[in-house]
Structure 1
């Protein structure tokens, strides 16, 4: 479809699938802008619900307890994982994603 799900996909397609180099930076900027724009829109639309949730559960923004609500906008590693383990998880799942994308979009594989 030509969809680039995230910067890792864009960079991998540039390195391994002849994606034009001059399009890499604009795509990555657009991906980040889209992610932040989507998060901003979700925050604006649901801010009153966030406030109600914080009040009902006695949460203070910025506290460890508030990570439960903050996880709406991003993911956080499990407390049992250190930074390197979390990074390894990201590398593995991104590799699986890219393997699937490359396999499904390869014209020579007969799918």
Structure 2
């Protein structure tokens, strides 16, 4: 039997869109629909678990096809780490944004089905700082925590998907890391570490979510650059663009 045909770009983009939709729908949907539900709301821990479990299940389901990025910052980090070819970067980011926007729209449509729901009052799990931070944290704190946590998230991804890492355990490590990240930073920024996750709800909610959106692109991308370049430096480089282009060796391994 011959080698299986690597998935084409169209298939990879389709599952990136679906996976990003699932991540944003599960995480933001839990925050909007379940977190503060009277008497049985899942709270901060439930939201953190929802994001972590969503990326874990999405990575197991789709990682072998697209790499399971579901996040522009992850795509940039993997590109800088020579795991993703340059030609894939922009298309991946475009479909990630589309998936996140679609998820935010569905969450909003469901939330509006509850009598008394108000987008202005109840929100859409948007990210923010200052008066729009859940804990009242300022711009500097928000920038710092988003950059640091994105860098750590990307480093875990790069390490867990390294060829030398235990096989099949990458999604578990990544999902647990995203859960911890949310436990740390929900009070600060409502946790982004993912520009697509921030952009989808912000486009629906508008207002301060849009005016503050720049931070949730800048900080995660700074973290991605630090992680992508830093991981290559400390490991001496474990993957090449050529290898990614040849096999989409996302077995290299799926997130």
- TM (norm. structure 2) is 0.35
Q: Which of the numbers 105, 110, 127 marks the counterpart of 1:40?
A: 105
**Which residue of structure 2 aligns with residue 74 of structure 1?**
126
- 1:29 is matched with 94
Greater C-alpha Rg: 1
| Displacement after TM superposition at 1:46 (Å) | 2.4
1:58 equivalent in structure 2: none
The corresponding residue for 1:57 is none
For residues 107 and 99 of structure 2, the distance between their equivalents in structure 1, rounded to whole angstroms, comes to: 12
**Once superposed, which parts of structure 1, at least 4 consecutive aligned residues long, lie more than 4 Å away?**
none
1:92 deviates by: 1.1
The offset of 1:15, in angstroms, is 0.8
- Structure 1, unmatched stretches of 5+, are 55-60
- Which 5+ residue runs of structure 2 have no aligned equivalent? 1-62, 168-255
Q: In the alignment, what sits opposite 2:81?
A: 16
Instruction: Identify the residue that residue 106 of structure 1 maps to in structure 2.
Output: 162
> Kindly tell me: are residues 46 and 81 of structure 1, through their superposed partners in 2, closer, same or farther at Cα, counting changes over 3 Å?
closer
Deviation at 1:48, TM superposition (A): 2.4
Q: Which of 126, 147, 150 is equivalent to 1:91?
A: 147
In structure 2, how many angstroms separate the alpha carbons of the residues matched to 1:36 and 1:43?
11
Q: Encode CA deviations 1:43-64: one digit per residue, 9 max, x unaligned.
A: 1122121x5144xxxxxx64xx
Quote the offset at 1:109 in angstroms: 4.1
Q: Give the number of aligned pairs.
A: 98
The verdict on how the C-alpha distance between 1:44 and 1:53 changes in structure 2, with shifts beyond 3 A counting, is closer
Contact map agreement 2:69 2:75 (CA 8 A) in 1? yes
TM-score (normalised: structure 1): 0.76
Helix, strand or coil for the counterpart of 2:112?
helix
SS at match of 2:68: coil
Give deviations 1:48-100, integer Å, cap 9, x for gaps: 21x5144xxxxxx64xxx2xx11x33233245321121011111111111111
SS at match of 2:113: helix
Give 1:4's match in structure 2, choosing from 69, 72, 82: 69
Q: Aligned partners of 2:77, 2:162: CA distance in 1, in Å?
A: 14
Q: What RMSD in Å do the two structures reach over aligned CA positions? A: 1.9
The secondary structure found in structure 2 opposite 1:18 is coil
